[in-house]
Amino acid sequence: MSKKQDKTQKAAIADLALDFSSGFKYEPAPESSSHVKLEKQYELFIDGKWVAPIDEKYFETTSPATEQVLSRIAEASAADVDKAVKAARNAYENVWSKISAKERGKYLFRIARIIQEKAREFAVIETMEGGKPIRESRDIDVPLAANHFFYYAGWADKLEYAFPGKKANSIGVAGQIIPWNFPLLMAAWKIAPALAAGNTVVLKPAETTSLTALKLAEVFQEAGLPAGVVNIVTGAGATGAAIVNHPDVNKIAFTGSTDVGKIIQKAIAGTNKKLTLELGGKAANIIFEDAAIDQAVEGIVNGIFFNQGHVCCAGSRLFVQEGVADKVIKKLKDRMKSLIVGDPMDKNTDIGAINSKEQLKKINDYLKIGVNEGAEIFQPACTLPKKGYFCAPTLFLHTSQSHRIVQEEIFGPVLAIQTFRTVEEVLEKANNTPYGLSAGVWTDKGSKIFNMTTKLKAGVVWANTYNKFDPASPFGGYKESGIGREGGLHGLLPYLSLS
């Protein structure tokens, strides 16, 4: 190497060193949206066709990252919902309950494969409309949605083995109402078991995230699914209520806020409708002194900052055993400083856009509440994009059980930390919440894991990991977190009557 070359190389290394000290700088890596085909306006999907809403009402759907209008969406009235339920009833009586279980399975397999073929388009639309990082929609939401259809496709003709000694009967028309945090995945969670069990469906996506459900309707058409087997009606709460109150719906499946869950439960009390509710959460993520600390810190970050904390099972309460508290908090703060907040279409982004202006307001209100309650707030220095709805990852230290930020679901990238000394103390604190959806335990000791999992009042307990999902594994909560399970064999039960 010549002296000149050597000098140049040294200079380059010095530059790099400078770069490292100020944190990694990533070049933008935006995912292209050129392959995505969105209509200017979407109608309702009823009886296998696109039909205009009777009242001719539409609303706009926008990107939460850019505030740009993406499309116009039909708003279904009670009369449109009635049309959809009639189509679903007709398809149930005359087509879906008549074909063999094996045929039903074939349709589900076909749907799963078409989702895989269109995976990139689904991921981009999910990110454009919902605000979640493209990395997550690409690697988590879309593959899991396809897997859900594959999984339940397999059960369709094996129900007699699923419930040995019993006859598994379909129940009729299922009304399904889903939220905006995992739009495609929640549609798959609801539709796949319903169809596998032999029912037909009327599904309503959330008003801020209708597009992937409407794209899914295109998949149903491409798969040749008989008309009326799945109907998609778009709209807000009133459309959802029209499904809930329709007398010819046999089952309601709802995922969303505990408040609306309670309204639904009251509305159907005294009817024959079956009900599953998947509501809020305030999960405890518990780190013991003997845990692998670096992995635990990654698990904490994944638990609360994944999908901007728009996750019912988010690990929003962190309990750290006293002996490692300083170490964990320091590492956590350092890790938070390296998180990239911004354009969800960029493949480097860790934290994308908050789903809506309303949700951002709710989160910001809680940040004020936390400070006023006397907790210490930590946010890494980061410049948030000027347009769109963004929130920096936030840590609250010195919190206590009585704080609202510890008790109430925030549904944003906000973590409240407490320390503990003993197993009894942390169990008492972790279970002291109206919710009971999920929890996390980090320890080196298998016995401690088993002790905790039997005593934590939560439907799902992750050990030395967090936010892991699999179609074969049932998911759901206790107490105000809900009723019933989705996923796995258990997820078929709400869609069947056994005799």
179 or 370: whose CB is closer to ligand NAI? Answer: 179
Among 121, 207, 312, 313, the one annotated catalytic: 312
53 or 280: whose CB is closer to ligand NAI? Answer: 280
106 or 362: whose CB is closer to ligand NAI? Answer: 362
As given in the structure block, the two tokens for residue 50 are: 């696109």
73 or 312: whose CB is closer to ligand NAI? Answer: 312
Among 75, 121, 207, 278, the one annotated catalytic: 278
78 binds ligand NAI, rule: CB under 6 A: no
278 assigned to active site: yes
Single out the residue of 75, 409, 480, 486 in contact with ligand NAI (rule: CB under 6 A): 409
Single out the residue of 48, 131, 172, 179 in contact with ligand NAI (rule: CB under 6 A): 179
Taking residues 269 to 298 in sequence order and writing x for each that binds ligand NAI by CB under 6 A, - otherwise, the string is ---------xxx------------------
Report the nearest approach of ligand NAI to the CB of residue 362 (Å): 5
Size of the site for ligand NAI (CB under 6 A): 26
Taking residues 234 to 273 in sequence order and writing x for each that binds ligand NAI by CB under 6 A, - otherwise, the string is --xx--xx--x----------xxx--x--xx---------
Single out the residue of 72, 362, 479, 490 in contact with ligand NAI (rule: CB under 6 A): 362
Identify the CA nearest to 254 among candidates 230, 283, 274.
274
CB 444 within 8 A of CB 292: yes
97 Cβ contact list (under 8 Å, min separation 6): 170, 198
CB 370 within 8 A of CB 392: no
Single out the residue of 71, 181, 307, 419 in contact with ligand NAI (rule: CB under 6 A): 181
Report the nearest approach of ligand NAI to the CB of residue 468 (Å): 17
179 or 315: whose CB is closer to ligand NAI? Answer: 179
312 assigned to active site: yes
As given in the structure block, the two tokens for residue 261 are: 């869950």
Site for ligand NAI in 195-214 (CB under 6 A): 204, 206-207
Q: Which residues contribute to the site for ligand NAI (CB under 6 A)?
A: 177-179, 181, 204, 206-207, 236-237, 240-241, 244, 255-257, 260, 263-264, 278-280, 312, 359, 362, 409, 411
Residues annotated as catalytic (active site), given as ranges: 278, 312
